[in-house]
Structure 1
Amino acid sequence: MSDEEELVERAVGGDKAALEEVIHLLQDPLYRLALRMVWRPADAEDATQEILIRVVTRLASWRAEAKLLTWAYRIGVNYLLNLRRKTPQEASELSLEDFRDDLADGLATADYAGPEAALLAQEVRLSCTQAVLQCLGRGERVAFVLGEIFELSSTDAAWILDITPAAYRKRLERARQRIRAFMGSTCGIVNPQAFCRCARRVQKAVAIGRVAPGRPLLSAHAVSPSGRGVADAAAQLHRLHDAAAVLRAHPDYAAPQAKTDAVLALLRSGRFPLLE
């Protein structure tokens, strides 16, 4: 019996410490999945709470047919693909072509040099790469996130999506082609000849409320213990300049502890049938 199987067996058997360990093992990866799919941290927190409840209440059905996290991703992906709440990009049906036009509108001729210039440029980059993903349909978005952001194998990603590996690879390639074309023609990090520069989008982004001076959502986001922070994640941009690397260069965001505590409180409240 593997360590994961032993842990789950104890959790299903009523060991509260084991159950908490399962939740702490899964919470940050599931939060990062939710964040890449729904864009806003607050929405990702709510989604993560719902996913964790679904995972835990189905824990007895896990048969080690896949790693525990892979199995949890499958539950999370199913929830996120069927989420009724739409992101702003989805609600406005903003395409990558529309987003390119949006980025060009109001682009300054020089880098922003005001207070917190470096931090705000970092926040623009992180926010922009989140927004790029939202311009993909949910099916292509999750395929790209699993394959290019989380770097899962096509076998695991296909299992998560409940499709064949061949169908998954085809879906992923469509997403890759669209992202590469957009980033290559737009993003100055990927292509020095492209028009957009993070530091030249700061003023416009602040004006329309996409980033807030003094309240950075992503640059100051908590990271997992021993996880990479903003500086570590950004360092790879100096080594890699392809589209996937730019979208991947986010810190290892951590799920807020308050949401984890809320999940545990709900499970202990008796409102949910624990470990059906």
Structure 2
Amino acid sequence: MTVESTDGAESPDEAGSAAAADEVALVARAVGGDRAALDEVIRLLQDPLYRLALRMAWRPADAEDAVQEILIRVVTRLATWRAEAKLLTWAYRIGVNYLLNLRRQTPQEARQLSLDEFRDDLADGLAEADYQGPEAALLAEEVRLSCTQAVLQCLERGERIAFVLSDVFELSSADAAWILEVSPAAYRKRLERARRRIRAFMDSTCGLVNPEAFCRCARRVPKAVAIGRVDPDRPVFTAHPVSASGRGVAEAAVQLSRLHDAAAVLRAHPDYAAPQSKVDAIGALLRSGRFPLLE
């Protein structure tokens, strides 16, 4: 899909104070050829942009490919940043535009699976009791993290990114509207559609949100393992590296235990880190002369 655009879209309300002097100085040094400054810019942006890509692309392998492309686009356009927004907010705009127009579909997108169909899918094969086998707690958490990723894929991309920016990344409406290049009113309308659909699904389906709902992560484990959505030997989300100063699986679970609304369940993921191998590859590409660096 193409990003909706508004001519002369206003910068975020916080832009005046958001573009801190140290960010401006750092970017100036990077644009001027300081490799250490460029590496610092990449370090600041790599994990947030990876988490954005992961929420939109679902699978880590696809998110890794996407963040590599996004970071290259960000760095090669760095000279165009005019401090109209925070550096990360500006980078999100580039990342969102790339992700919304990505030709590759996620499996859920390819199946065009609706939230109603996904609810039926979760009900099929749900065990009568919690799974008690090896690594029961870890596998239940893997089911939760995988399921909340899948829920987002049932939204069309415009609604998905609106929900992710606001209710997962907790950006202001002004910032999110600026990232999407739409008016704040148009953004709020899109966000409310996404919220309404997510709330209805989670309230009718997810026992973490509504104790009366039918689905329980621990009861979904046997079916998820049987159909290959969860691999006990190679968990995707519970074993994923996290940022050095970010929250891990346990911290996210503790946060979730205190909050039981739909947005909190989808937000309570670890602070995943971009794979260092991909980051190193980006640095090598930028130094290879293949890209017109900072032009």
Aligned-partner Cα distance in 2 for 1:231–1:248: 14
Aligned-partner Cα distance in 2 for 1:169–1:6: 34
Letter in 1 for 2:188: R
The equivalent position to 2:154 in structure 1, one of 121, 135, 138, is: 135
Match of 1:89 in 2: 108
The equivalent position to 1:119 in structure 2, one of 132, 138, 151, is: 138
Aligned-partner Cα distance in 1 for 2:256–2:34: 44
1:99 aligns with 2:133: no
- The offset of 1:200, in angstroms, is 0.4
Aligned-partner Cα distance in 1 for 2:181–2:60: 27
Aligned-partner Cα distance in 1 for 2:245–2:278: 20
Aligned-partner Cα distance in 1 for 2:138–2:145: 11
Match of 2:278 in 1: 259
Aligned-partner Cα distance in 2 for 1:95–1:268: 44
1:217 aligns with 2:226: no
Letter in 1 for 2:284: A
Runs of 4+ in 1 over 3 A off after TM superposition: none
- The offset of 1:236, in angstroms, is 1.5
Aligned-partner Cα distance in 2 for 1:48–1:239: 32
Aligned-partner Cα distance in 2 for 1:272–1:228: 35
Aligned-partner Cα distance in 2 for 1:176–1:234: 22
The aligned runs of 1:1-276 (5 Å cut-off) are 2-276=21-295
How many residues of Structure 1 are paired with residues of Structure 2 in the alignment?
276
Aligned-partner Cα distance in 2 for 1:35–1:183: 21
The CA deviation string for residues 84-115 of structure 1, in whole angstroms up to 9 with x for no partner, is 00000000000000000000000000111111
Aligned-partner Cα distance in 2 for 1:124–1:238: 16
Q: TM-score, normalised by structure 2?
A: 0.93
| Identity across the alignment (%) | 83
Query: Helix, strand or coil for the counterpart of 1:109?
Result: coil
Letter in 2 for 1:252: D
- The offset of 1:272, in angstroms, is 0.3
> What do you get for the CA RMSD once the two structures are aligned?
0.6
- The offset of 1:231, in angstroms, is 0.6
Letter in 2 for 1:20: D
Aligned-partner Cα distance in 1 for 2:246–2:207: 27
Query: Helix, strand or coil for the counterpart of 2:204?
Result: helix
Aligned-partner Cα distance in 2 for 1:236–1:48: 27
Q: Answer with 229-238 or 54-63: which moved more.
A: 229-238
The CA deviation string for residues 201-258 of structure 1, in whole angstroms up to 9 with x for no partner, is 0000001111101211100111111100001011112211000000000000000000
The CA deviation string for residues 6-31 of structure 1, in whole angstroms up to 9 with x for no partner, is 00000000000000000000000000
Letter in 2 for 1:140: E
Query: Helix, strand or coil for the counterpart of 2:155?
Result: coil
Aligned-partner Cα distance in 1 for 2:21–2:228: 49
- The offset of 1:169, in angstroms, is 0.6
